[in-house]
Structure 1
Amino acid sequence: MSSRRMTQGGSLRNRGRLGMAGEWQLAKIGDIAERVAMGPFGSSIKVETFVPSGVPVISGQHLRGTKVDDKVGFNFVSESHAQRLRNANVQRGDVIFTHAGNIGQVALVPESAQFERYVISQRQFYMRCNRDKILPEFVVAYFKTPKGQHSLLANTSQVGVPSIAQPVTYLRTIEIPLPPLSEQRAIAHILGTLDDKIELNRRMSETLEAMARALFKAWFVDFEPVRAKHALSKVEGIEERWQRGQSLPGLPAHLYDLFPDRLVDSAHGAIPQGWGVGCLGDVADHQRRGIQPHDIENGTPYIALEHIPKGRIALTEWGTADVLESNKFVFKQGEILFGKLRPYFHKVGVAPVDGVCSTDIVVLTATSSDWFGFVLGHVSSSEFVEYTNAGSTGTKMPRTSWDDMARYELVLPPKPVAKAFTELMQPSIDRITAGIHQSRTLATLRDTLLPKLISGELRVPDAEHHTKASV
């Protein structure tokens, strides 16, 4: 690559040799972008403008990783409305930034995106790359590095909502390393491999969780195995078409004898014969292991409400307890954490590590390991969250309590049924937990390799060696 200094009009400036990567130039975004533009101004996109289908709107919730997440779900505006917002229309290959609120977010609209065209919200702006000079995947990689984040946030105002001042004009002035396209492509491939594995783990976790929820509902809400056995008993000549050892809907064959074949009336409505009616406190305990800040070792994992995702039991994020100043609760891996502050946020998950948590979190265990799956299924259900929300106290900061939670009424199966369910579900929980730890390891590797690759300190073959050893 040429090492000549170019004028600002061509604006590629050589800054000398970067490690083993040779002489990489620096280029201003304005000189390597086909377009840099803002999202719509004012209230051009609001609830009243949404339609059931049309052009999807990208917002901050879609920029959680390196690629726009189209699994989150979108609001839509009409085709005619999108045409009026011409400058805010983006396409596959565009790089999206957030300039207000959760600033520093950056993600690519991938070539595999669900839609060919999107509209960005009022808090986003975007860059369309000149692909003869720079790849969008490399742009995202650069702005994920500490140096790239510093460059992006250097023109930030903290008055009111955090924001980047004059984001379009400012982005055009930012300089970015410009390796050869072949090098950019290789770097993007390495980082993409790591991100793809992290994303695969996330989707696997969602699938396993959905399967566990479906099985819980089939067994303990809809009583499908009982209904299937009852229907079976009413069919003449069924022995010729079904034999013991064959599965029924919601009922693996080896568990056939665990379930009755009829429902009976109870105070809780129709329930399986031989089952009872009780409450959560019959099968679950609240673990109140308080601990003082000075007794917590540095580096101990710390989970607060902000670390627990809404409506998901996979807890992928946590901090450390190095600067805590108030009492906390101790939890152990595999225990259930329930956010009691504003319970309508539906923050319930299974602890993937030992650690400490906020006192706004209830630490739950089953009275015995056999009841774990049954307890988790109930306390993570929408019905239970709605129950706790209805009984919470406090106007601005409503809270539920263990006493109220423990009174939640439920249908209690015989212990062997609960044990069988836990045995079916536990491997999924174990796989989710293993995926969380692998993803955190891969994210650490990515964040370590990224600045070294971007700067040229680390060569691609060396990075590939580290990547292959971890994926």
Structure 2
Amino acid sequence: MKLNYKKIGEHIRLVDERNKGLQVKQLLGLSISKQFIPSVANIIGTDMENYKIIRRNQFACSTMQVRRDKKMPVALLQEVDEAIISQAYPIFEVKNEKELLPEYLMMWFTRSEFDREACFHAVGGVRGSLEWEDFENLQLPIPHPNKQKEIVKEYNTIVNRIALNNQLIKKLEETAQAIYKQWFVDFEFPNEHGKPYKSNGGEMVESELGEIPKGWTFSKIGNEFNLTIGRTPPRIQVEWFNNPTKNNLDWISIKDIQSSDTFLFKTNEQLSQEAIKKFSIPIIPY
């Protein structure tokens, strides 16, 4: 056993409190990004008394399809005092918060190393579910509570900085989109005098796309860019995916594109050189 590492199961317990009398109204779902989200489930005709109540500082998780998703969804409720969630999700809480802080445990759950270990222990075919006993047997270091508080504080400082940077990036992207529209849709880019081109008498000519500034032309994307179609090796060969080494390459999936904004800086998976060569996977230069 690793030094100072303890089994998760030694410090948590399952909670199964049902919504008897419909005392709780707010219904939440659980996302793969380890956050609670407003539920979009169709609850018409559903017995809401059978839903589970989750309270502040309790966790909800999903042990299903861990291997397929390469993540174990788990979230700590802190935004509200109580809510209800599908009975399909196990609810658990820390036994003694004087020994293990819920925030510290949640911080551990957000680590990519935790997801990789959970994926390793997941069983049951390609989708792969994680047995509750195996989840409880996963280990984490548990320092003194004061040290846990220090770690959580530093972690939250970094998370808040990231959130602030993301807000700044969003503002810059909105500004860039506004400039793009002004220049390339409204054709109000600065002329030689620094004034908006079209509204200050800039010459326009007819084209297949309508009026465009004189000297401009249009072209098909295929004439200007090299286009290629990606390939996906069989997912059943799990060793080809998500095994970071210096030789493996970042693997851009549809999920990465859907979860990114204008630019893609990081992928959720890497692909082995063996799979790249075997299936002639196109390599995109940085």
Q: TM-score, normalization: structure 1?
A: 0.41
1:263-307 CA-to-partner distances (Å, cap 9, x unmatched) read 97956576466475623349833278xxxxxxxxx6374443357
User: Residue type matched to 1:125 in 2?
Assistant: P
Deviation at residue 163 of structure 1 after TM alignment: 0.8
Mapping 1:269-284, distance limit 5 Å: 271=211, 274=214, 278-281=218-221, 284=224
- Matched AA of 1:128: E
TM superposition shift of 1:185: 1.4
**Is 1:127–2:92 an aligned residue pair?**
yes
Which residue number in structure 1 is paired with residue 266 of structure 2? 317
Q: How does 1:61-76 map to 2 (within 5 A)?
A: 61-63=32-34, 68=35, 75=40
* Among candidates 45, 48, 57, match of residue 28 of structure 2: 57
Provide Cα deviations, 1:72-127, integer angstroms capped at 9, x if missing partner.
x763677996943431x43443333331113542543363x4x6555545764332
Structure 2 unaligned blocks of 5 or more? 19-24, 229-245
Uncovered stretches (5+) of structure 1, i.e. residues with no partner: 1-14, 19-23, 40-53, 227-250, 289-297, 333-353, 355-471
Between the aligned partners of 2:251 and 2:281, the Cα distance in structure 1 is 10
Whole-angstrom CA distance in 2 between matches of 1:302 and 1:259: 44
What residue is the counterpart of 1:108 in the other structure?
75
Match of 1:188 in 2: 152
TM-score of the superposed pair, with normalisation by structure 2: 0.61
| Structure in which a larger fraction of residues adopt helix | 1
CA contact (8 A) 1:100 1:124 kept: no
1:159 aligns with 2:98: no
Counterpart-to-counterpart distance in 2, 1:156 and 1:126: 19
Q: Do the aligned partners of residues 316 and 150 (structure 1) sit closer, same or farther apart at CA in structure 2, a change above 3 Å counting?
A: closer
Q: How does 1:17-416 map to 2 (within 5 A)?
A: 18=3, 26=6, 29=9, 32-33=11-12, 35-36=14-15, 55=26, 57-63=28-34, 68=35, 75=40, 83-87=48-52, 89-102=53-66, 104-109=71-76, 111=78, 113=79, 117-120=82-85, 124-129=89-94, 130-143=96-109, 152=118, 156-159=122-125, 161-165=127-131, 167=132, 171=135, 177-221=141-185, 223=186, 225=188, 255-261=194-200, 266=206, 271=211, 274=214, 278-281=218-221, 284-286=224-226, 299=247, 301-306=249-254, 308-310=256-258, 312-318=261-267, 319=270, 322-323=273-274, 324-325=276-277, 326-329=279-282, 331-332=284-285, 354=286
- Hey, what's the Cα distance between the residues in 2 that align with 1:196 and 1:202? 10
Which deviates more, 323-332 or 177-186?
323-332
Alignment check: 8 A CA contact 1:36 1:127 kept: yes
Rounded Cα–Cα distance in structure 2 between residues aligned with 1:270 and 1:202: 37
Q: Counterparts of 2:99 and 2:44 in 1: how far apart (Å)?
A: 32
Find the aligned partners of 1:199 and 1:123 in 2 and give their Cα distance: 31
- Structure-2 change in CA distance of 1:28 and 1:258 (3 Å): closer
- 8 Å Cα contact 1:95/1:109 also seen in 2: yes
Question: What is the rounded CA distance, in whole Å, between the counterparts of 1:38 and 1:258 in structure 2?
Answer: 66
When structure 1 is superposed on structure 2, of 128-137 and 193-202 the one drifting more is 193-202
Q: How does 1:455-470 map to 2 (within 5 A)?
A: none
SS of 1:188 mapped into structure 2: helix
1:212–1:61 Cα change, 3 Å = farther
Indicate if the aligned counterparts of 2:6 and 2:141 stay in contact, CA closer than 8 A: yes
User: What SS class does the counterpart of residue 278 from structure 1 fall into?
Assistant: coil
Per-residue deviation, residues 341-391 of structure 1 (Å, max 9, x unmatched): xxxxxxxxxxxxx3xxxxxxxxxxxxxxxxxxxxxxxxxxxxxxxxxxxxx
Larger radius of gyration: 1
More moved, 190-199 vs 279-288: 279-288
Q: Displacement of 1:327 after TM fit?
A: 3.7
Query: Quick one: percent identity of the two aligned structures?
Result: 12
Query: 2:241 corresponds to which residue?
Result: none
CA distance in 1, matches of 2:183, 2:121: 56
Encode CA deviations 1:181-201: one digit per residue, 9 max, x unaligned.
Answer: 212212222333344444444
Report the AA paired with residue 258 of structure 1.
Y
Closer/same/farther in 2, CA of residues 171 and 219 from structure 1, 3 Å limit: same
Q: Deviations over 1:415-442 (max 9, x none)?
A: xxxxxxxxxxxxxxxxxxxxxxxxxxxx
CA distance in 2, matches of 1:283, 1:146: 41
Q: State the 1:157 CA deviation.
A: 2.1
The structure-2 alpha-carbon separation of the partners of 1:199 and 1:258, relative to structure 1 and needing over 3 Å to count, comes to same
| Residues 257, 90 of structure 1: alpha-carbon distance in 2 compared, 3 angstrom cutoff | same
